[in-house]
Structure 1
Amino acid sequence: MEAAPLPIAVFVVDAAGNIESWNKACEKMAGYTASDIRGSRLDRIISFDESGNCKAPSLPLTGECEATGHLTSNDGRRIPVRVTIAPQALDPDKPDSFSVIVAPRPGVMPPRYALIQDLPVTDIIEGLPCVFYVIDQSGHLLLWNRQLEAVLERTSEELPTINVQNFFDEKDALRSTENILDAFEHGSSSHEAELIGKFGKRTACLFNCARTSLGNVPCVFGTGLDISARKEAELSLLLRERAISCSVNAILISCCKNKEFPIEYVNPAFEQITGYTLDEIKGRDPRFMRVEGCDEQEHERIRDALQRHESVHAIVRNARKNGEIFWNDLRIDPVVNQEGEVTHFVGVINDITEAKHYERRLQHLAHHDPLTGLANRTLLHDRLGSAIEQAVHEHTLGALAFLDLDNFKYINDTFGHDAGDEVLREIAQRLRAGVRDEDTVARVGGDEFVLVINDQPSPAHVAELVERLRHSVSAPVTAEGNAILPGVSIGVSLFPRDGERAERVMRAADAAMYHAKTMGKNNCQFYSPELNQAVHDQLLLEASLSRAIRDDDMVVGYQPKVDLRSGKIVGAEALVRWRHPDKGIIPPDRFIPVAEATGLIVPLGELVLSKVCATLKEMRSDGAPDFVISVNLSARQLRQRQFVTRLGQMLAQHQVEPGSLELEVTESQLMDQPEEAVDVLEQLKGLGVRLSIDDFGTGYSSLSYLRKFPVDFIKIDRSFLSDVSIEGNGVITRAIIGLGHSLRMKVVAEGVETREQIAFLRDYDCDQMQGYYFSPPVPRDSLRQMVSKDTRLPD
């Protein structure tokens, strides 16, 4: 049987187009022998189509081109072919010769590679676990296997037309070409490079090339073994080696030999942390850095884990080369080979010396007051709990004393915070000096100290000790060049008599301390069962008040304000009362201090404001649009963030004109922090509400600040009207009226109960009055009736 034609033919022409060489594949395709065709011109056997990037090539030939045409065979057949003409770029000895590659177009020749089928090694080449190729001197493929098509993502028709340089990245193309030239020149070569597929697929290969010839056409054949997995493994190892080298943690690798662990490798971080170089310690056991006598249990754990070939984590102290001890957070893990044997151990050392020092400092700060160095609240609870347990177990007596400095805010405001801090430090030293080492002195607040006194023979001894401490603390303190005289109120509870739990004992001492405050300050009071009942009642009152506000058990009464000239009702003051389901009406002097102390004054104040706004809306509907209702504000309300904004929203919600609402603040509230007060009052004034100073004359107003406060009214405290017949009282009242008018404020007298007071106020041109002489506080509906009937002050 006649052999199948070769799929491609390659011959060589000179620049004039004369055929110089003709191989067996050409003979099979065209039917001409080499002797028949050598010396003939290119255009004798190939006629080019009119399409393509070259028609009949212009002679002499100058560069690479591609075209389609027809090959005229020896028997006259015209075979459709694709033609590639390229300079012999890979053969520097023939610069003016050109390779002509002729491949049958699809559908004309057999679909598989006839050349491979003719060879006895066809199956071997196709079955190779690598790419196989044959390249001529022009840099084009003559022969290849399926693996190369798959790697390059190209068809068999595409591959012969592309120069092999284009199968590589730009960075690899020149080097790969040089290696192919080496094979032409020296017979063989090898190199590594990435083949780039048509759609971007990258395959790292190890190429081995060897020189040969097909017929009389020199060429190079070779294989490319896919080494992508090896490259990935090499890169992974390189990255790990680089990571180990760059790690900020010290890394040590030791060998596992007969219960010994000689060092094989340490990274630069190890050398920097320990001061030892690899050359100095290679082959030594890592235990040479341990500090004898330290962390014995941890070292025992490490030894046991290594003998069992297990991982271990420990925190130990080691010595650097210079002898300095450092804390080491150590992690050791075994390395297992393919047979499952432990061959090495990897130790990771993290120098945590600074962290340890910081931890100790934090631990101290977590249990001690930074200003005085005394125990803080956390440590106090621990010490008190232990002291109570000991007292219960050993049937001894202990005491807990709460000390609160009297008027410490005045010290800060008068002498400055630095002086206040100096006073606190000096008092802390006096308290420490006045008790035993086994006792505890703590600072639990700005000016609050607590003593835990253990193992006392009797309450009398406790009283004597505490009184001695009170005298010591009350002695003058020199700070910032000033002699400051601090006072202290002390409350004492005894344990386990007053409680067997820390919380109960502390509450008892706290109650006794507040009792000392109410007794005039600068004294000492012991807790008693009667005081316990008072504390219990106080707690019940707090809980009940919270529920009362939530359940709206608060009622608002209104005491009318009367214009002293016309006698007409022009406004009212809102006064809140607590309607208790069991105890009836509770007056404000019982629950307002509780509300202030617990913060309940804020929701209570909002409740009152909401009720007042609803009443003002009804008054306007009744035909009294100019009626003004005043509401007392607490200092806590005044300092609430967004108070002005929320008040504006409430007025808008009830459709109340801001000028119908008057807010009363006491003189002492304003002078507590006058700069802040001016700012808040300006915001309220900008909202449009009216402002008044309540209880004027009972505080310590500064006239300079009084001029800055944007208030509309001042109210004379009832104490100045108790007996206006007394010359002193009358003088003060007249002065307040004159001062208010001179500052363009209206003056309101409260607590007016007699005709004599009315006459006095009218004589000195006071603007308004309120009091029982005209009316006590009345419910909302009664106030509306009085206004609608135009009830007036009798002449």
Structure 2
Amino acid sequence: MNLSPLPLAVFVVDADGTITSWNKACEKLAGCTAADIQGQRLDQIIDFDDIGEPPMSIAKRSELDSTGYLRGAGGRRLPVRVTVAPQALDPEQPDTYSVIVIPRAGLVAPRYALIQDLPVGDIIEGLPCVFYVIDQSGHLLLWNRLLEETLEMSSEELPTTDVQYFFDEKDRAEIVSKIMEAFENGHSSHEAELIGRHGKRTSLLFHCARTSVGDLPCIFGTGLDITDRKQTELGLRVRERAIYSSVNAIVITCCENNDNIIEYVNPAFEQITGYTLAEIKGRNPRFMRIEGCDVEEHRRINEAIRKKESVQVILRNARKNGEVFWNDLRIDPVSNIDGEVTHFVGVINDVTEARHYERRLHHLAHHDPLTGLANRTLLQDELKFSIDFAVRNGVLGALAFLDLDNFKHINDNFGHDAGDVVLRDTATRLKESVRDNDTVARVGGDEFVLVINNQPGDEQLADLIERIRQRVNAPIRVAGRDILPSTSIGVSRFPVDGDTVDRVMRAADAAMYHAKTLGKNNCQFYSIELNQAVHEHLMLEASLSRAIGNREMVLDYQPKVDLRTGKVVGAEALVRWKHPENGIVPPDKFIPVAEETGLIVPLGEWVIIEACGALKALAKLGIHDFVISVNLSARQLRQRQFAAHLARTLKRQGVDPRNLELEVTESQLMDHPEEAMEALAELKALGLRLSIDDFGTGYSSLSYLQKFPVDFIKIDRSFLGEVAHDSHAVITRAIIALGHNLKLKVIAEGVETQEQLAFLREHDCDQMQGYYFSPALSQRSLEEMVCSDARLPS
């Protein structure tokens, strides 16, 4: 057997201890030739320290480590350690043993004595890295077990494989080059992946050094597992690329000398601000501040940096070209391994467009799109402020309702474009007739409202109103023709005629109605004579209380249609009053009375029970996925235990909550938004559907709107008017887009024309209701419609 020249003296002996082969290291260590060793017994060349009678057999000696002296040339005796191991894995030589002879201390200088006496095999096996010895042919001579585990190969397979094949094919040329570099230059280093038999990949950092075993040149080396480091580096590269590619501006500052100076900005920062990294590196980011703006936000930033905490603000900065932009800024500290904050990372989201869009929506929510005047929502806010100011300071204010006479006649004879010109001109005249601290609003098609503050007295107020009337009545020239508008005006004074918004507005409305009845084109103040209207109101209140108890109320149902399928998917329950003497009383007459008196609560409970009855009737006809919506009043919403009471009602009626929808108005929600949110959450927990009615006519805070647990928003009919006009269409489109962005379905009510329907379909509105498809129906008619699968033509 020819042994590879290992760096250890190794004999091979048979069971009797006769030497059969050896390596060159044996000859070198003993200082003798092959002829001196051939045929000798082991105990003839090694004097064992534990010699006894009879001498210990080779088999017995394989169970322990022995020491002794190697007989060398010239009578030398070398102290050695002897390890005997059976060669059980060699089928060609059974009952043979390997004898490893290692010099002991005393043969080398003292500084190497410990190394020479160490168990090298144990050390190599215990290394936390792979260990290998490679000859010039590229084959392994020696290795540790960790290499076997990494390559998923046995010790018999490793010596027969060229080491380059342990690597990916694309890396083999580089591997051979590095091995040859070690042979030629004495050392080399490189990183590569070892590939196991079953595909396992291990990234290693290899260090090679040239040596020789006997006369055989070879290299030995180690491979340290750097897989975790590689993964970390990859993660860092990915995060670095993410920062580089981010659409948000990112700036990294370094804490240095009690300052924070820019160390890095990504391309998005350069694009958004106009500054390059080369221009601003080493500067404090505060150079982009706009002095005097957003002082509180800057204070919060400074405080957070001082405390080394995170902070988020929205503020304005200046681009390089001087342009102001809004940014949503998030700043976070970065700590080193010792927990010391060394850097801050700022992420800037340019929200300029969003702020402008929000302002546009805010303006749309508070102003009439045609005239630019305040709408009903803003009017009520301004009126409340004015009334409170008048009450506190003891001054006189007035509210004037103006209604253009015969405006329909103008539209019919001159066209809607001419009608819009009249409305815009009227708005301009009204604004020019009052002071800046007064309010001019448009609350309907041809209805305007003035809030006039701090008047000296009734006489001066009357003169002002008359001048306004005369100015409104002046001719308006449209397309070469003069249009002569006129107006009826009703005026109430505050706090004389009322000290609340509702009372003042009702008084002014009553005065305008009186002006209309007197022949139009005149001005009337609210007076004692108008108390008759109040008396009628009280009579209506008494009759309404009786009507609920006498079941004079009936429900009609206006179908709701899915605009994609044309199918009738639900209906809105509309309460009607069949007065025994006066006939049908419209809802706009008795619902406000019911709200004011609290009768809306029993009336609302009756409506819910009737709607449940209709749902049960439809279920008996096989219609189970139909939804009936019921208008919910503010009083009902504020009732304690309303949700629990409603749950009991639904259970008692045997109605699935998913088939009942409750509609609430914007004003109800925003009156007390926190309470409304809590009440809606309780209703939503029952499984009911919720919708916001008359959306767009009130002021819904966008931050609140996205928190309310509603399913639908309903576009008020006033926004559909003439969708061909961009002034109407823009609001409707905005509401549809807003609803869909908030994951809500959008329902349009009051659809009366093919043009409106086409517009809604074009802009992906979900449902509609209105006279174009069907007026409100009785329960029986509704059942017939649904069972016959009547549909809206596509």
> Which TM-score tier does this pair reach, normalised by the shorter chain?
0.5 to 0.7
- Matches of 1:277 and 1:243, distance apart in 2: 19
User: How many Å apart are 1:515 and its aligned residue?
Assistant: 4.5
User: Quick one: which of 747, 753, 772 aligns to 1:639?
Assistant: 772
Residue 210 of structure 1 is matched in structure 2 by: 209
Contact 1:542 1:594 in 2 (8 A): no
Q: Secondary structure at the match of 1:344?
A: strand
Q: Secondary structure at the match of 1:586?
A: coil
- Matches of 1:454 and 1:33, distance apart in 2: 121
Residue 406 of structure 1 is matched in structure 2 by: 405
- Give matches, 1:315-334, under 5 Å: 315-334=314-333
Evaluate the alpha carbon distance shift between residue 158 and residue 541 of structure 1 in structure 2; reply closer, same or farther with a 3 A threshold: farther
Contact 2:11 2:99 in 1 (8 A): no
Amino acid at match of 2:222: T
Are 2:260 and 1:264 equivalent residues in the alignment?
A: no
**Worse-superposed segment, 492-501 or 328-337:** 328-337
RMSD of aligned Cα (Å): 5.0
- Matches of 1:513 and 1:484, distance apart in 2: 23
- Matches of 1:498 and 1:29, distance apart in 2: 128
Q: Secondary structure at the match of 1:283?
A: coil
User: Quick one: which of 583, 586, 590 aligns to 1:588?
Assistant: 583
- Give matches, 1:517-666, under 5 Å: 517-527=516-526, 528-538=530-540, 585-588=580-583, 638-641=771-774, 650-651=783-784
Are 2:485 and 1:486 equivalent residues in the alignment?
A: yes
Residue 430 of structure 2 is matched in structure 1 by: 431
User: How many Å apart are 1:24 and its aligned residue?
Assistant: 8.8
- Deviation digits for residues 649-669 of structure 1, max 9, x if unmatched? 7448999xx9xxxxxxxxxxx
- Give matches, 1:689-704, under 5 Å: none
Residue 131 of structure 1 is matched in structure 2 by: 130
User: How many Å apart are 1:293 and its aligned residue?
Assistant: 4.0
Evaluate the alpha carbon distance shift between residue 185 and residue 483 of structure 1 in structure 2; reply closer, same or farther with a 3 A threshold: same
Residue 237 of structure 1 is matched in structure 2 by: 236
- Matches of 1:195 and 1:177, distance apart in 2: 14
Contact 1:255 1:262 in 2 (8 A): yes
- Deviation digits for residues 532-572 of structure 1, max 9, x if unmatched? 23345456767877887796599xxxxxxxxxxxxxxxxxx
Q: Secondary structure at the match of 2:260?
A: coil
- Give matches, 1:624-773, under 5 Å: 638-641=771-774, 650-651=783-784
- Deviation digits for residues 105-163 of structure 1, max 9, x if unmatched? 799989x9998999931111111111123345555544332322333344445545555
Q: Secondary structure at the match of 1:391?
A: helix
Amino acid at match of 1:532: V
- Give matches, 1:217-236, under 5 Å: 219-236=218-235
Residue 196 of structure 1 is matched in structure 2 by: 195
Contact 1:133 1:145 in 2 (8 A): yes
Residue 785 of structure 1 is matched in structure 2 by: none
Amino acid at match of 2:534: N
- Matches of 2:395 and 2:517, distance apart in 1: 31
Q: Secondary structure at the match of 1:442?
A: strand
- Give matches, 1:490-501, under 5 Å: 490-501=489-500
Residue 178 of structure 1 is matched in structure 2 by: 177
User: How many Å apart are 1:379 and its aligned residue?
Assistant: 1.8
Q: How many percent of aligned residue pairs carry the same amino acid?
A: 58
- Give matches, 1:162-177, under 5 Å: 162-177=161-176
Residue 383 of structure 2 is matched in structure 1 by: 384
- Matches of 2:144 and 2:323, distance apart in 1: 68
Contact 1:577 1:588 in 2 (8 A): no
Residue 446 of structure 1 is matched in structure 2 by: 445
Contact 2:152 2:196 in 1 (8 A): yes
Evaluate the alpha carbon distance shift between residue 374 and residue 592 of structure 1 in structure 2; reply closer, same or farther with a 3 A threshold: closer
Residue 684 of structure 2 is matched in structure 1 by: none
Contact 1:508 1:532 in 2 (8 A): no
Q: Secondary structure at the match of 1:445?
A: coil
- Deviation digits for residues 710-765 of structure 1, max 9, x if unmatched? xxxxxxxxxxxxxxxxxxxxxxxxxxxxxxxxxxxxxxxxxxxxxxxxxxxxxxxx
Amino acid at match of 2:415: G
Q: Secondary structure at the match of 1:261?
A: strand
- Matches of 2:578 and 2:139, distance apart in 1: 106
User: How many Å apart are 1:422 and its aligned residue?
Assistant: 0.9
**Worse-superposed segment, 185-194 or 166-175:** 166-175
Q: Secondary structure at the match of 2:256?
A: coil
- Matches of 2:290 and 2:517, distance apart in 1: 62
- Deviation digits for residues 247-270 of structure 1, max 9, x if unmatched? 344433344334333443333344
Larger radius of gyration: 1
Amino acid at match of 1:430: R
**Worse-superposed segment, 291-300 or 538-547:** 538-547
Q: Secondary structure at the match of 2:534?
A: helix
- Matches of 1:169 and 1:230, distance apart in 2: 20
Residue 110 of structure 2 is matched in structure 1 by: none
- Deviation digits for residues 309-332 of structure 1, max 9, x if unmatched? 444444454444444444454444
Evaluate the alpha carbon distance shift between residue 288 and residue 35 of structure 1 in structure 2; reply closer, same or farther with a 3 A threshold: closer
User: How many Å apart are 1:392 and its aligned residue?
Assistant: 0.9
Evaluate the alpha carbon distance shift between residue 115 and residue 136 of structure 1 in structure 2; reply closer, same or farther with a 3 A threshold: farther
Contact 1:545 1:591 in 2 (8 A): no
User: How many Å apart are 1:387 and its aligned residue?
Assistant: 0.4
User: How many Å apart are 1:371 and its aligned residue?
Assistant: 1.7
- Matches of 1:147 and 1:507, distance apart in 2: 92
Evaluate the alpha carbon distance shift between residue 637 and residue 333 of structure 1 in structure 2; reply closer, same or farther with a 3 A threshold: closer
Contact 2:473 2:487 in 1 (8 A): yes
**Worse-superposed segment, 156-165 or 463-472:** 156-165
- Deviation digits for residues 490-537 of structure 1, max 9, x if unmatched? 333222233322133223333443444455544444443322233454
Amino acid at match of 1:531: A
User: How many Å apart are 1:433 and its aligned residue?
Assistant: 1.9
Are 2:147 and 1:145 equivalent residues in the alignment?
A: no
Amino acid at match of 1:495: F
- Matches of 2:509 and 2:213, distance apart in 1: 109
- Matches of 2:101 and 2:276, distance apart in 1: 62
Amino acid at match of 1:639: Y
Evaluate the alpha carbon distance shift between residue 208 and residue 579 of structure 1 in structure 2; reply closer, same or farther with a 3 A threshold: closer
- Matches of 2:124 and 2:270, distance apart in 1: 55
Evaluate the alpha carbon distance shift between residue 637 and residue 262 of structure 1 in structure 2; reply closer, same or farther with a 3 A threshold: closer
Residue 455 of structure 1 is matched in structure 2 by: 454
User: How many Å apart are 1:34 and its aligned residue?
Assistant: 8.8
Amino acid at match of 2:166: F
Contact 2:251 2:346 in 1 (8 A): yes
User: How many Å apart are 1:214 and its aligned residue?
Assistant: 5.3
Contact 1:116 1:122 in 2 (8 A): no
- Matches of 2:247 and 2:290, distance apart in 1: 23
Structure 1 unmatched runs, 5+: 1-5, 13-20, 37-101, 555-575, 611-634, 659-678, 684-795
- Give matches, 1:305-316, under 5 Å: 305-316=304-315
Residue 283 of structure 1 is matched in structure 2 by: 282
Contact 1:190 1:208 in 2 (8 A): yes
Amino acid at match of 1:534: E
TM-score, scaled to structure 2: 0.55
Query: Matched residue pairs, number?
Result: 524
- Matches of 2:403 and 2:203, distance apart in 1: 81
Evaluate the alpha carbon distance shift between residue 649 and residue 465 of structure 1 in structure 2; reply closer, same or farther with a 3 A threshold: closer
Q: Secondary structure at the match of 2:482?
A: strand
Amino acid at match of 2:535: Q
- Matches of 1:107 and 1:488, distance apart in 2: 123
Contact 2:425 2:476 in 1 (8 A): yes
Contact 2:4 2:23 in 1 (8 A): no
- Matches of 2:249 and 2:121, distance apart in 1: 58
